Amino acid sequence: MLRVARRWTAALLFASALVAPALAQEKVLRIAMTAADIPRTHGQPDQGFEGNRFTGIPMYDSLTQWDLSKADAPSVLIPGLATEWAVDPADPKKWIFKLRPGVKFHDGSAFDAEAVVWNVRKVLDRDAPHFDPSQVGVTASRMPTLRSARAIDPLTVELTTSEPDSFLPYNLTNLFMASPAHWQKLYDAVPADVTDPKERAKRAWAEFAANPSGTGPFKGVRLVPRERFEMVKNPDYWDERRRPKIDRVVLLPMPEANARTAAILGGQVDWIEAPAPDAIPAMQARGFVLYQNPQPHVWPWQFSFLEGSPWRDIRVRHAANLCIDREELKQLLGGLMGVPKGTVPPGHPWWGNPSFDIRFDLAEARRLMKEAGYSEAKPLKVKVLTSASGSGQMQPVLMNEWLQQALKACWFDVALEVIEWNALFTTWREGANHPNARGANAINVTFAAMDPFFAMVRFVTKGAFPPNSNNWGFFNTEEMEELVRAARTSFDAAARDAALARLHKRIVEEAPFLWVAHDVGPRMLSPKIKNVVQPRSWFIDIAPMDLAG
């Protein structure tokens, strides 16, 4: 009997020895991104918002940040490393930000006002020893009015803008805080034979990218250029609700949709961005879970308002918006699109209840076209520039061909010209009157609509006429200028949102776009990933997620 008991004990001990390591096994989340390379890891990611999503937000914090905790409400601005902020009533070009106490960078140094000043100077002050040209473009373009920063005390910083600008708190979501102390350590470690300070700074930043230090919920630990980037959890993260449960996150660049699909089906990754639409049913049949939610993204035709453009007639613009059955397009895209009602959706703080209802109403569209002087016998010829692919463009050729067919019902004769994605971007900046526009009177370039400047202002003001910004079609009225001015100088958040709502209402009513779709950011995840919230945002928060065994 004793022998039997001993055998059982031995067997149990052996079994527990086998099981123990499994129980203690590291929770590793492997993500296949659409990017062809690891987005830059030094704090100001490239690769568009996919960069911010995967190597920005998980490792770094900004003074203000997006609320990514809700799937059923707009993602709004919330405090990040700043707990509160206000414009100086005496000088509306100055902002005072109160900083969160007790926050530490991954290297153990303290986050304070001097760190904020240092991070502003890294992209705005060419004379700063740590100025990095490679970070300027992606950062300065997203905070066009910020000029300088000054520490008032360790937890108070003053930011100065070039003009009164109530949009600054939105812009600051793009300025991630990297550790000055860590950078300095790496700078000092550059071999002494490198004497040029610029070259030393460049090398220090390259080293920083491989060995980053922010204040975020994950710490970067391993970079294999173009292949993988690994982050481990930061157990001391300042926000208890976002303290990670997953031990390690591995990011893998996989630009090819079929490769990503095969990788998740073959068990190489747990999460893929933008799955191949045709393979979605097969993946769902194997238990993978599709997440999607309309993003602040607009897939439009942007109209030209130059002399001679047929889009100058508001009846034609409204007719185009009423002529297309977006639900049909949604079906064509396998359900992977949001149906737009404007640049922002109803319920958004900037919605504003426009009187023009964007819907499918063929009879009304035809009536407007008839009134404008067009008919089956006298169709309206329009020409649209688009690309064959590109970030955020979804499926541009398919969608534009569908539009071409759908608009025929309202006597639009659409000529499409497909050019390379980068060339399209250049043309977008050059404007409708440039020879490179090839006589087109509409352009199909998708855009992010997260902050007021990028969602609205740059499409309706005179200051944004090409080549300054993206008002490609030269759309502008005195009323728009006034509405923008009012929004920019409304420093109370509620008043600013109300002003932006008035602006959005008028933009929808004036219809300088054909609003076609919102992207829904589809991603396929393994069912073992828990606590997933896909917000109405370009971003997603990995920190609260967990992995089931």
Q: Which of residues 62-91 bind other proteins (CB under 8 A)?
A: none
Query: Cα(239)–Cα(252) distance, rounded to whole angstroms?
Result: 27
Neighbouring CB atoms inside 10 A of 131's CB total 17
Based on the shown chain and the rule CB under 8 A, indicate whether residue 228 belongs to the binding site for other proteins: yes
Give the range of 29-37, 237-245, 374-382, 502-510 binding other proteins by CB under 8 A: 29-37
Based on the shown chain and the rule CB under 8 A, indicate whether residue 433 belongs to the binding site for other proteins: no
Closest separation in Å from C-beta 460 to other proteins: 14
Based on the shown chain and the rule CB under 8 A, indicate whether residue 147 belongs to the binding site for other proteins: no
**Rounded to the nearest 10 degrees, what angle do helices 493-510 and 478-488 cross at?**
160
Sign of the alpha-carbon torsion through 223, 226, 227, 233:
positive
Which residues make Cβ contacts (< 8 Å) with residue 114, sequence separation at least 6?
Answer: 151, 154, 180
- How many of the chain's residues bind other proteins (CB under 8 A)? 55
Residue linked to tokens 């997953």: 246
**Interface characters, 442-461, with other proteins (x: CB under 8 A):** ---x-x------x---x---
Query: Cα(301)–Cα(337) distance, rounded to whole angstroms?
Result: 16
Q: Of 124 and 369, which CB lies nearer to other proteins in the complex structure?
A: 124
Q: Of 99 and 344, which CB lies nearer to other proteins in the complex structure?
A: 344
Report the residue from 71, 425, 509, 528 that binds other proteins according to the rule CB under 8 A.
425
Based on the shown chain and the rule CB under 8 A, indicate whether residue 305 belongs to the binding site for other proteins: no
Residue linked to tokens 């019902």: 409
Give the range of 141-149, 336-344, 475-483, 500-508 binding other proteins by CB under 8 A: 141-149
Closest separation in Å from C-beta 267 to other proteins: 6
Report the residue from 468, 479, 530, 531 that binds other proteins according to the rule CB under 8 A.
468
Output phi, psi for 188, to 5 deg. -65, -25
Q: Of 152 and 224, which CB lies nearer to other proteins in the complex structure?
A: 224
Nearest to 420 by CA among 442, 393, 441: 393
Give the strand pairing for 218-224 and 228-233: antiparallel
Closest separation in Å from C-beta 134 to other proteins: 5
Between the alpha carbon of residue 522 and those of residues 38, 58, 162, 289, 534, the distances in Å are 20, 20, 38, 10, 10
**Interface characters, 333-352, with other proteins (x: CB under 8 A):** --------------------
Based on the shown chain and the rule CB under 8 A, indicate whether residue 312 belongs to the binding site for other proteins: no
Give the range of 56-64, 89-97, 179-187, 462-470 binding other proteins by CB under 8 A: 462-470
Closest separation in Å from C-beta 332 to other proteins: 23
Nearest to 70 by CA among 348, 453, 352: 348
Residue linked to tokens 């409204």: 318
DSSP state of 177: -
Query: Cα(419)–Cα(421) distance, rounded to whole angstroms?
Result: 6
Output phi, psi for 212, to 5 deg. -80, 165
Would you give the distance in Å from CA 424 to the centre of its chain?
A: 20
Residue linked to tokens 């990028």: 454
Query: Cα(207)–Cα(215) distance, rounded to whole angstroms?
Result: 18
Closest separation in Å from C-beta 258 to other proteins: 6
Output phi, psi for 258, to 5 deg. -70, -35
Closest separation in Å from C-beta 56 to other proteins: 14
Angle 27-108-103 from CA coordinates, rounded to 5°: 85
Q: Which of residues 150-209 bind other proteins (CB under 8 A)?
A: 202, 205-206, 209
Q: Which of residues 237-256 bind other proteins (CB under 8 A)?
A: 252-256
**Interface characters, 257-286, with other proteins (x: CB under 8 A):** -xx-xxx-xxxx------------------
Give the range of 139-147, 342-350, 402-410, 473-481 binding other proteins by CB under 8 A: 139-147
Output phi, psi for 179, to 5 deg. -80, 120
Give the range of 15-23, 222-230, 515-523, 526-534 binding other proteins by CB under 8 A: 222-230
Q: Which of residues 34-53 bind other proteins (CB under 8 A)?
A: 36-37, 40, 46, 48
Based on the shown chain and the rule CB under 8 A, indicate whether residue 226 belongs to the binding site for other proteins: yes
- Whether the upstream peptide bond of residue 169 has omega within 30° of 0, thus cis, is no
Give the range of 133-141, 296-304, 398-406, 491-499 binding other proteins by CB under 8 A: 133-141
Closest separation in Å from C-beta 539 to other proteins: 16
Report the residue from 278, 371, 376, 420 that binds other proteins according to the rule CB under 8 A.
420
> Which token pair is 364?
């009304």
> Which token pair is 132?
């990095």
**Interface characters, 86-125, with other proteins (x: CB under 8 A):** ----------------------------------------
- Partner residues linked to 529 by β-bridges: 547
Written as one string, the DSSP assignment of 186-201 is HHHTS-TT---HHHHH
Query: Cα(370)–Cα(410) distance, rounded to whole angstroms?
Result: 9
Q: Which residues make up the interface to other proteins (CB under 8 A)?
A: 32, 36-37, 40, 46, 48, 132-134, 136-138, 140-142, 144, 202, 205-206, 209, 224-228, 252-256, 258-259, 261-263, 265-268, 419-420, 422-423, 425-426, 428-429, 445, 447, 454, 458, 467-470
